[in-house]
């Protein structure tokens, strides 16, 4: 399994012969190394409906005939755009051809702002547990620290976790350190920082404060193998 980070909250995963991308916010993202026209995606996983996470989902899905997996309300909204979707809800899991997806709680908002200044409600925000090839990846999405992260850590053996550290909209570094302790992941990668002025952070400092061998700083485009 290959996993790569591409700035903000974008994560790509190659597993079981499938290409998966999480939260493909590319156009307008000064932190990413990706170009929309180059993305190959069999599956798109979305944590919530904010524009900086849905991003270029519709264009990518239409070009690749991708399956979009998201919270039910967001999946329905996107299906009206003419793409294939699979709706889920918090606490639910589903075994796909590429692996098992389970949605967790995330404490945040979730809505999509259209060009006409209309704001569309898109259901609950979520985190994602993806299990494939006997490995489990946790993408926390946009979230505050919450105590049920302890349950996520107790009930799942997490090999790799992506945690937001940007503050203002999500956990800041201090709360993310507590989250890392609670989820007990073998490796923790900081995400959702430095894309906008209000979420400027020092990811090196965050990683240095994690236990030895746990913190992993991935620059946009860098890949690891699980």
Q: What is the pLDDT of residues 164-198, one digit of tens each?
A: 999 999 999 999 999 999 999 999 999 999 999 99
What is the structure's pLDDT at 161? 98
In a domain, 224, yes or no: no
226 located within any domain: no
Confirm whether 223 is domain-assigned. Answer: no
Predicted structure pTM score: 0.98
Percent of the chain with pLDDT over 90: 100
Residue 178 has a pLDDT of 98
Q: What is the mean pLDDT of the chain?
A: 98
Q: How far apart are CA 199 and CA 193, in angstroms?
A: 5
pLDDT confidence bin for 101, thresholds 50/70/90: very high
Question: Is 25 domain-assigned?
Answer: yes
Position 52 in a domain = yes
Tell me if 132 is assigned to some domain: yes
CATH number for the domain that contains residue 26: 3.60.15.10
Domain span at 72? 2-218
In a domain, 225, yes or no: no
pLDDT tens-digit series, residues 15-67: 999 999 999 999 999 999 999 999 999 999 999 999 999 999 999 999 999 99
Tell me the CB-side half-sphere exposure of residue 29, using CA atoms within 13 A. 25
CA dist., res. 48 & res. 70, Å (int): 7
Residues 177 and 182: their CA atoms lie apart, in Å, by 9
Query: Strand 93-95 to strand 100-105: parallel, antiparallel, or no bridges (unpaired)?
Result: antiparallel
What distance in Å separates the CA atoms of residue 128 and residue 18, rounded to the nearest whole number?
Answer: 17
C-alpha distances (whole Å) from 179 to each of 31, 145, 187, 188 are 24, 6, 13, 10
pLDDT at 57: 98
Could you tell me if residue 109 is inside a domain?
yes
Mean pLDDT of 147-169: 98
Q: What is the count of structural domains for the chain?
A: 1
Residue 197: CB atoms within 10 A of its CB come to 7
pLDDT score, position 182: 98
How does residue 111 score in pLDDT terms, banded at 50, 70 and 90?
very high
**68: left (phi > 0), else alpha (psi -120 to 50), else beta?**
beta
């Amino acid at each position: 399994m290959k996993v790569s980070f591409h700035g903000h909250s974008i994560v790509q995963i190659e597993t079981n012969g499938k290409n998966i991308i999480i939260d493909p916010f590319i156009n307008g993202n000064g932190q990413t190394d990706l170009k929309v026209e180059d993305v190959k995606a069999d599956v798109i996983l979305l944590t919530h409906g904010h524009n900086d996470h849905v991003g270029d989902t519709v264009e990518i899905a239409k070009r690749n005939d991708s399956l979009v997996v998201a919270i039910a309300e967001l999946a329905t909204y996107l299906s009206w755009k003419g793409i294939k979707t699979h709706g889920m809800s918090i606490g639910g899991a589903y075994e796909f051809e590429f692996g098992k997806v389970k949605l967790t709680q995330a404490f945040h908002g979730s809505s999509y702002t259209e060009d006409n200044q209309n704001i569309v409600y898109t259901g609950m925000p979520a985190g994602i547990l993806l299990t494939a090839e006997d490995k489990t990846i946790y993408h926390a999405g946009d979230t505050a620290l919450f105590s049920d992260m302890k349950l996520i850590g107790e009930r799942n053996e997490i090999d790799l976790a992506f945690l937001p550290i940007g503050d203002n909209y999500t956990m800041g570094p201090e709360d993310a350190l507590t989250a890392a302790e609670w989820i007990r992941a073998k490796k923790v990668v900081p995400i959702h920082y430095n894309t906008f002025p209000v979420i400027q952070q020092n990811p090196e400092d965050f990683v240095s404060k994690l236990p030895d061998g746990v913190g992993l700083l991935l620059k946009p485009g860098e890949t690891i193998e699980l």
